[in-house]
Amino acid sequence: MVESLPGELGAPALRLVAFVGDLLSIAVHGYAPQYKEDAARRALCAPYTGLPLADSRAIIAASGQRRAVAATIAADSVPLAHESAVAARRFARALDDLTRAYRAQGVTASEYLKTIALSFGLIEKLDERERRTFATLEALAAASDAKRLPGDAFNAEEFVSALEHGAKRTHRERSVPLERRPLAAREPEAARPVPRRKTHFSASSLGTFAECERRWYYRYVCAAVDDPGSSASFYGTAFHTALERFHEEFPRADAAPLDVLQRKLDGYLGTSFEHHRGDFETSVEFELQRRRALRTGQRYLTWFVERFRARPFTVIGRETAVELDLDGYDFIGFVDRLDRDDRTGNVTVVDYKTGTIPESAERYRDKVARLVDFQLPFYYFARTAAGDRVTRLALVPLKDAGRDVAPIELEVVPHAEHRSHSDATTGTIGLDELERARAKMTELAAALADAPLERFPPTDDPSACAYCTYANACRERPQRREDRFGH
Ligand code: SF4
């Protein structure tokens, strides 16, 4: 067993120990990719890589949940300043070098530490105190090497334990617990211009920008993938495809007896999920999501038929591409479903939602009024411009297999009542509210296309961060600390 660290390490020294520990972990856990990746992400955010923290986090955001940060760096998918790009590539190369070094025949702890120091040009970057800490690490490494029996391999895991033990002891011996210390003030971010967007806009990208510019930056500038490959996203894709095909064959609920409709919908769901089988992480996950979809499909069909019986209608559009020019800015999107009332010819715009949606019509209306949701207003204007008489907007929840499908439905009226706290799923929305959303869409499109984009401030609404995919990468959010040296 190697000796442990002295118990009086300061925060900078602890940071260095954590960095070295993470790099050792990458070598130790090469066989457990996720664990290795967690360590790589922490190391990427350490101050020894030469990367500004904002760039490290942009790389992490672009990597999403599954992709390795090294792969994101290799793909060059994050626009970085030249120095940052060089530092990022050096980091990725260093991970490779370190993994190779650990596997080399007869490598010693001291040699491994030297590889770390060389890979990151560490010695030049450390201050006096950190250098002393690194010297202590070297002494520990030398002690570890001296105790090894001939033929024994360098045991990095044991070395990591010694570091961790020393770090924990330091933590305990401090009179003020780490958690209660005031956070160090963050240095202000440098402005980082990004290319202007002369392109098509989507209502959802503008909604993201309106809700949190930083999230928009992660999603659309870094090309970060929102929840890449998650079972939730494949569930949504498979369900949408199945409904598109189902309504292509059955645009009306009276086109066949209920049992035939059910069998057909089950078949389309089965085929669609089968198509995505390989995308789910495990076969158990696939099976769970497929069954969830089949149960939700039953509820969906019940609603579809009941609604038809109450007011017969025909599905006239599925995954309909919509385009709209708003004051010279091009918008595009796809409407999941368009229903035309048999008696009046009025059209309902239907959007399927396999994720979370507002719980009541008033809550959705509130999002439109706060100018953070443009999807249904955009579909309204796009289909009206295409000649439809759109009178109703609907969000159909397809997430919860345990609940009846109860869509959020808003009838479009010239002026709606003042907003209330009603929990009803049906309500009204004023044309004036939709017009305001349209004006805001143009304003945001102009901001994205014409104005310099240099800063991406975070939202000031903390509730927007609750389910943000990029929370881990966002410097304004408390980063999930899996750093075992910090606790
Ligand atoms: S965590 Fe919050 S502030 Fe950060 S990107 Fe997400 S929504 Fe914006």
Report, at the CATH architecture level, how domain 211-445 is classified: Alpha-Beta Complex (3.90)
Q: How many angstroms is it from 474 CA to the middle of ligand 1?
A: 6
Residue by residue, DSSP assigns 23-67 as HHHHHHTTTSHHHHHHHHHHHHTSTTSS--HHHHHHHHHHHTTTS
Q: Residue 163 is encoded by which pair of tokens?
A: 């570091």
In this structure, are residues 19 and 8 in contact, taking their beta carbons and an 8 Å threshold?
A: no
Indicate which residue's Cα is closest to atom 4 of ligand 1.
474
In this structure, are residues 208 and 216 in contact, taking their beta carbons and an 8 Å threshold?
A: yes
Q: How does residue 164 score in pLDDT terms, banded at 50, 70 and 90? A: low
Same fold, 11-180 and 211-445: no
Indicate which residue's Cα is closest to atom 5 of ligand 1.
215
Closest C-alpha among 50, 88, 46, 48 to residue 68: 88
Q: How confident is the model over 367-406, as pLDDT tens digits? A: 999 998 999 999 999 999 999 999 999 999 999 888 899 9
Asked if pLDDT for residue 485 goes beyond 60, the answer is no
Taken as a whole, the chain contains a residue count of 487
pLDDT at 10: 60
pLDDT at 105: 60
pLDDT at 51: 85
Q: How many angstroms is it from 242 CA to the middle of ligand 1?
A: 33
> Considering the chain, what percentage of its residues have pLDDT values greater than 70?
80
Which of 219, 459, 467 is the pocket-test mutation for ligand 1 (most atoms within 8 Å of CB)? 459
pLDDT at 452: 65
Name the residue ranges covered by the structural domains of the chain. 11-180, 211-445
Closest C-alpha among 372, 377, 359 to residue 422: 359
Which of 208, 217, 222, 468 is the pocket-test mutation for ligand 1 (most atoms within 8 Å of CB)? 468
Q: What is the rounded distance in angstroms from the CA atom of residue 218 to the CA atom of residue 228?
A: 13
Q: How confident is the model over 460-471, as pLDDT tens digits? A: 877 778 778 787
Q: How many angstroms is it from 429 CA to the middle of ligand 1?
A: 29
Q: How does residue 300 score in pLDDT terms, banded at 50, 70 and 90? A: very high
∠109-110-111 over CA atoms, to 5°?
90
Average pLDDT over residues 14-29: 78
Average pLDDT over residues 409-420: 88
pLDDT at 167: 57
Which of 57, 186, 461, 465 is the pocket-test mutation for ligand 1 (most atoms within 8 Å of CB)? 465
In this structure, are residues 60 and 77 in contact, taking their beta carbons and an 8 Å threshold?
A: no
**H or E element at residue 213:** helix 213-216
pLDDT at 344: 97
Q: How many angstroms is it from 221 CA to the middle of ligand 1?
A: 15
pLDDT at 368: 93
Lowest-confidence range among 62-76, 388-402, 432-446?
Answer: 62-76
pLDDT at 183: 39
In this structure, are residues 434 and 381 in contact, taking their beta carbons and an 8 Å threshold?
A: yes
Report, at the CATH architecture level, how domain 11-180 is classified: Orthogonal Bundle (1.10)
Residue by residue, DSSP assigns 127-146 as -HHHHHHHHHHHHHHHHHHH
| Alpha-carbon dihedral 61, 63, 66, 68, rounded to 10 degrees | -130
